Chain A
Amino acid sequence: MHTSLADLGEPLPNARRSRPTAGWPSLLIRAGSLFAFASAMLYFVIVAPSFLSFGNIANVLEQSAILGVLSFGMTIVMIGGGSNIITGGIDLSLANNLGLCAAVYASVLRNGQSDATALLLTLATGLAVGFLNAFAVVGLGILPLIATLSVMNICAGFELVLTQNTVIPASSPLLSSLTDSGPLGISYLAWVLLALAIVLVLGVEFTPVGLRLYAVGAHREAARAAGLYVKSYIAGSYLLSGICGAAGAVLSASLLNGSSTGSGAILLSIVLTPLLGTVFSRRLVPTITGTFLSVLFIGFLINGFQLTNVSSYWVNGVEGVLILLVVAATSLVRRGES
């Protein structure tokens, strides 16, 4: 097949002599990043005492819900596709899938349909996008990076057709109840994020199916030789990602009271969080837990900046520096282990 593109995106020679293993260097990185995480939090607590208040934590959870749900979808695709970002799994259509689904949800409601119909059609849209990705990647054998890139363009196009590039306001019992505060005074948006995180952590990290998904991503040929039906796992990961897009769309519609334009802007953050999350795993691979922690970390960072009156323009830069630090440390460890 595409042999020459097989090592696209691999680090340069010398840097890839060995696979990452669970040795003390990986422990050091994980301890180091947890330490950085903790010290950043500590700083915010000292400077802005309200930072660790219950209300503020609930607020951060609510603000992180959309990024979190989408990042879970991206993480699942990355787990099933393997660690090589270009030939491995990536779903670039996820952000625009959210935009399209939110547009579908809002316009179905606008036509006077019930919440249930709207929810069903939104889910169907997300699944359809996931199916198109799965078909392109598994059925046609197109590289995930460009397959999902072209699906992204198709989603963006359909979203424009539906919304005519305007905001479609939407309100429904479901949407307003999502922003209501539920048990413990935490809004249902945050509960959805927490619930999904728990379900996916259990499902992906602790079940045979999840383990097999990791096996497919780690070494596809070995997984096939071991008797796994590799294609269905990869296709399934894109379908799940499509569902995450639809779920994120409902959350975003409730937070913004309708569909909004410019959903594509969140894409690079969705790619970044699972990669940042790799430092929280023992083998330095994407995990749901790691993604959840890095989503929270970024959420707390933005929130802390707001509380300490640091301009939010710094957020992107800090995220960029973080990813570089993480990756530099990881690749140093891999070199050291050779």
Chain B
Amino acid sequence: MAAGTSSPEMDAVPVRVRLTALLRYTIVFAFVAVFVFLSLQAPSFFTTSNLLNLLVNNFALLALVSLGMTLVILTGGIDLSVGSAIDIGSLVFISLVSSHHPLLVAVFGGLLGALLVGGFNAFLISVLRITPFLATLGTLFIGESVQQLATNGGQPIYLITGNLPRGFTEIGRESFWGVPVPLCVVAVGIAGFLLLAQRTRFGREVGAIGAQSGVAWYSGIQVQRTTGLVYLLSALVCGVAGIILSSTVKAYVPLSGNAYLLDSIGATFIGTTLHAEGRPSVIGTVLGVLLLSIVTNGLLLIGWNFYWQQVGTGVLIFLVLAVSFLGRRARA
């Protein structure tokens, strides 16, 4: 495997190897380059209001979903049903709010709805031992059907403004000391996942399962239980994202959560380029989400229309992946 390049005999290491070691930080360079480029090109980019807007509208929800996805991919699985968890969470939340339940009950119900999706995944994966890809694909399809049946084929549920429970609008808008609530939630989420992944027994177990699930099992780790918990956790953050999403738009729009699926997988895998062995990490994922959201926001500001924006984002991600995988291959 690739030897560490931080040894004292650094001078003996060929230039090419040192160069490829640098490629590991492609994502950081890309991030800085894009940031500087956008600041120079669009004067309105590097302003507090725009950065805040970027963080709330582009970053927050994707970051939440991607945090769960990171742990799931860290165990060696994948969660294709994040869309269902987001949507079911949002569906239950909005239904409870529109039938005049207190906000706390609605939030609790929404989270429970999302956990139901996660629990179903956990059952399929940990008890029935179905491969995560197929299990969550099945859950996704079932989730779509449930939503279509519940909403008469995909009719959105709109809330009537003026008749909202106390504190509802604050979820999407209000701020603590100038920081919007969604951002506070994301910050807590990131901190929590960082601690969980790096400072707890659970986090180490998750990493061990991903590295060598067989060895982890023989070492006495309860592989099934830990794996199941990871899918529950993923659904939980999706539920939080669903509640924030539906309280900002004051509606439940069926099948809207699927938009986050591919972006969260993309962000997590962009984040893996940060790691020498290509493993996902919370920091990497957050950087990946930041890169995606800055590009989306920035290209809009420098006047690219929405359509070219998609091309630009796609090409940029392709290039980041290409450079870092080439680096990884050269080191191997």
Tell me whether B294 is interfacial, beta carbon within 8 Å. no
Tell me whether B98 is interfacial, beta carbon within 8 Å. no
Tell me whether A46 is interfacial, beta carbon within 8 Å. no
Partner of B142, one of A15, A157, A321, A331: A321
Tell whether, in the assembled complex, residue A12 and residue B325 are in contact, meaning their CB atoms are under 8 Å apart: no
Tell whether, in the assembled complex, residue A313 and residue B129 are in contact, meaning their CB atoms are under 8 Å apart: no
Once bound together, how far apart are the Cα atoms of A324 and B143, in whole Å? 13
Q: How many residues of B contact A (CB 8 A)?
A: 66
Tell whether, in the assembled complex, residue A150 and residue B317 are in contact, meaning their CB atoms are under 8 Å apart: yes
Q: Which residues of A contact B262 (CB under 8 A)?
A: 92, 149, 152-153
B129 CB to closest chain A CB (Å) equals 4
Tell me whether A201 is interfacial, beta carbon within 8 Å. no
Tell me whether A302 is interfacial, beta carbon within 8 Å. no
A4, A12, A268: which has the most chain B beta carbons within 10 Å? A12
Q: Which residues of B contact A323 (CB under 8 A)?
A: 134, 137-138, 141
Partner of B314, one of A8, A10, A150: A150
Tell me whether A35 is interfacial, beta carbon within 8 Å. no
Tell me whether B139 is interfacial, beta carbon within 8 Å. yes
Tell me whether B186 is interfacial, beta carbon within 8 Å. no
Tell whether, in the assembled complex, residue A151 and residue B130 are in contact, meaning their CB atoms are under 8 Å apart: no
CB-based nearest A residue for B280: A5
Q: Which residues of A contact B167 (CB under 8 A)?
A: none
For residues 57 through 99 of chain A, which have their beta carbon under 8 Å from a beta carbon of chain B?
85-86, 92
Tell me whether A161 is interfacial, beta carbon within 8 Å. yes
Tell me whether B223 is interfacial, beta carbon within 8 Å. yes
B257 CB to closest chain A CB (Å) equals 14
Tell whether, in the assembled complex, residue A311 and residue B149 are in contact, meaning their CB atoms are under 8 Å apart: yes
Q: With A140-B322, A141-B325, A157-B311 given, is the CB distance from A7 to B269 under 8 Å?
A: no
Tell me whether A168 is interfacial, beta carbon within 8 Å. no
Q: Which residues of B contact A318 (CB under 8 A)?
A: 145
Q: With A10-B76, A12-B227 given, is the CB distance from A157 to B321 under 8 Å?
A: no
Partner of B76, one of A8, A14, A92: A8
Q: Which residues of A contact B145 (CB under 8 A)?
A: 313-318, 320
Tell whether, in the assembled complex, residue B129 and residue A11 are in contact, meaning their CB atoms are under 8 Å apart: yes
Tell me whether A235 is interfacial, beta carbon within 8 Å. no
Tell me whether B277 is interfacial, beta carbon within 8 Å. yes
Q: Which residues of B contact A165 (CB under 8 A)?
A: 307
Q: With A9-B78, A157-B310, A311-B149 given, is the CB distance from A316 to B318 under 8 Å?
A: no
B187 CB to closest chain A CB (Å) equals 27
A90 CB to closest chain B CB (Å) equals 9
Tell whether, in the assembled complex, residue B213 and residue A13 are in contact, meaning their CB atoms are under 8 Å apart: yes
Once bound together, how far apart are the Cα atoms of A154 and B145, in whole Å? 29
Once bound together, how far apart are the Cα atoms of A160 and B125, in whole Å? 38
Tell me whether B279 is interfacial, beta carbon within 8 Å. yes
A282 CB to closest chain B CB (Å) equals 20
Partner of A2, one of B132, B146, B153, B277: B277
Once bound together, how far apart are the Cα atoms of A12 and B217, in whole Å? 9
Q: With A9-B132, A140-B322, A324-B135 given, is the CB distance from A316 to B141 under 8 Å?
A: yes
Q: Which residues of A contact B137 (CB under 8 A)?
A: 268, 271-272, 275, 320, 323
Q: Which residues of B contact A8 (CB under 8 A)?
A: 73, 76-78
A331 CB to closest chain B CB (Å) equals 5
Q: With A150-B266, A157-B312 given, is the CB distance from A9 to B141 under 8 Å?
A: no
Tell me whether A143 is interfacial, beta carbon within 8 Å. yes
Tell me whether A255 is interfacial, beta carbon within 8 Å. no
Partner of A149, one of B213, B266, B279: B266
Residues of A in contact with B (beta carbons under 8 Å apart): 1-5, 7-15, 85-86, 92, 136, 140-143, 145-147, 149-158, 160-161, 164-165, 268, 271-272, 275, 311, 313-321, 323-324, 327-328, 331, 335
28 residue pairs bridging A and B, Cβ less than 8 Å apart: A2-B328, A4-B279, A7-B213, A13-B217, A14-B129, A85-B134, A86-B78, A141-B325, A142-B321, A146-B266, A149-B265, A153-B314, A154-B314, A156-B314, A157-B314, A160-B306, A160-B307, A161-B310, A311-B149, A313-B145, A316-B142, A316-B145, A317-B144, A320-B139, A320-B141, A320-B144, A327-B130, A327-B135
A272-B141, A317-B149, A328-B124 given; 17 more Cβ-contact pairs under 8 Å: A4-B211, A9-B133, A12-B125, A12-B129, A140-B321, A149-B262, A150-B266, A152-B314, A153-B262, A157-B310, A160-B310, A315-B145, A317-B142, A318-B145, A320-B138, A320-B141, A327-B135
Residues of B in contact with A (beta carbons under 8 Å apart): 1, 73, 76-78, 80, 124-126, 128-135, 137-146, 148-149, 153, 210-214, 217, 223-224, 227, 262, 265-266, 269, 272, 277-279, 306-315, 317-318, 321-322, 325-326, 328-329, 332
